[in-house]
C-alpha cells in the first residue's frame, strides 16, 4: 500500500467497514476479459483470516467464470463523501474501504451452503434462517478465502 498513513489495522474498524458496506464488488478474469459485479455479502473474520460469502444463480457469466477462474479481486467501501474545493486538485474523497485478493469456490454440500447463506443473512437481517432444500439446489453459494486484504481510511 502506497499510503501507509491511511492503513487501518484496528479490527473493530475493519468490522465496521464490512458491516456498513452494502455491496461487495468482485472481479474475475479469464483469457478474454475481466468481469466485475456487485453482490450483497456476508463474512467471517478472525485475527488471521477473512472469508466472504455471496450467492447467485447456477447459470450465467458469474457462475461460468467462478467454475473456471478461481482467482478474484474484491473491494467494498462505506462512508464515502466528496469534499469540494476551489481547485480541481483540491477535491478529495473521504472513505473507509477494504480491497483484497483471494480464491473463489462454489460450495457444494448443503451444510456449507447454509453456513454461507447464514453469514449473508446475519449481516443483512441480524439473524439466521432456514432454507428449503429446493432453494438450496437452485442456488450457488460462493466462498472467497482472502489471500490478502487491506483496509484503508481517508478522513
111 backbone dihedrals φ, ψ, rounded to 5°: -60, -45
Mean pLDDT of 136-154: 95
Give the pLDDT score at 115.
Answer: 97
- Of 32-36, 72-76, 114-118, 121-125, minimum mean pLDDT range: 32-36
Strand partners, 127: none
Give the pLDDT score at 57.
Answer: 94
Could you give the count of Cα atoms lying within 13 Å of 104 in the half-sphere of its Cβ? 24
pLDDT digits (tens, 9 = 90+) for 50-70: 999 999 999 999 999 999 989
Residue 129 has which C-alpha cell?
434462517
pTM of the model: 0.91
**Pairing mode, strands 92-107 and 71-83:** antiparallel
The percentage of the chain sitting over the pLDDT mark of 90, rounded to a whole number, equals: 75
Of 21, 51, 11, 14, the residue nearest 152 (C-alpha)? 14
Give the pLDDT score at 47.
Answer: 83
Residue 34 has which C-alpha cell?
475481466
Amino acid at each position: 500500500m502506497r499510503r501507509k498513513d491511511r492503513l487501518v489495522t484496528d479490527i473493530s474498524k475493519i468490522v465496521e467497514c464490512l458491516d456498513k458496506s452494502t455491496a461487495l464488488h468482485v472481479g474475475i478474469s479469464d483469457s478474454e476479459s475481466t468481469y466485475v459485479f456487485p453482490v450483497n455479502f456476508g463474512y467471517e473474520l478472525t485475527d488471521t483470516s477473512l472469508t466472504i460469502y455471496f450467492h447467485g444463480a447456477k447459470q450465467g457469466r458469474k457462475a461460468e467464470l467462478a467454475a473456471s477462474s478461481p482467482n478474484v479481486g474484491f473491494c467494498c467501501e462505506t462512508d464515502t463523501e466528496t469534499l469540494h474545493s476551489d481547485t480541481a486538485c483540491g477535491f478529495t474523497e473521504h472513505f473507509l474501504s477494504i480491497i483484497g485478493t483471494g480464491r473463489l469456490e462454489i460450495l457444494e454440500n448443503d451444510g456449507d451452503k447454509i453456513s454461507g447463506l447464514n453469514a449473508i443473512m446475519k449481516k443483512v437481517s441480524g439473524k439466521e434462517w432456514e432454507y428449503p432444500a429446493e432453494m438450496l439446489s437452485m442456488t450457488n453459494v460462493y466462498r472467497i478465502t482472502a489471500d490478502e486484504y487491506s483496509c484503508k481510511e481517508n478522513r
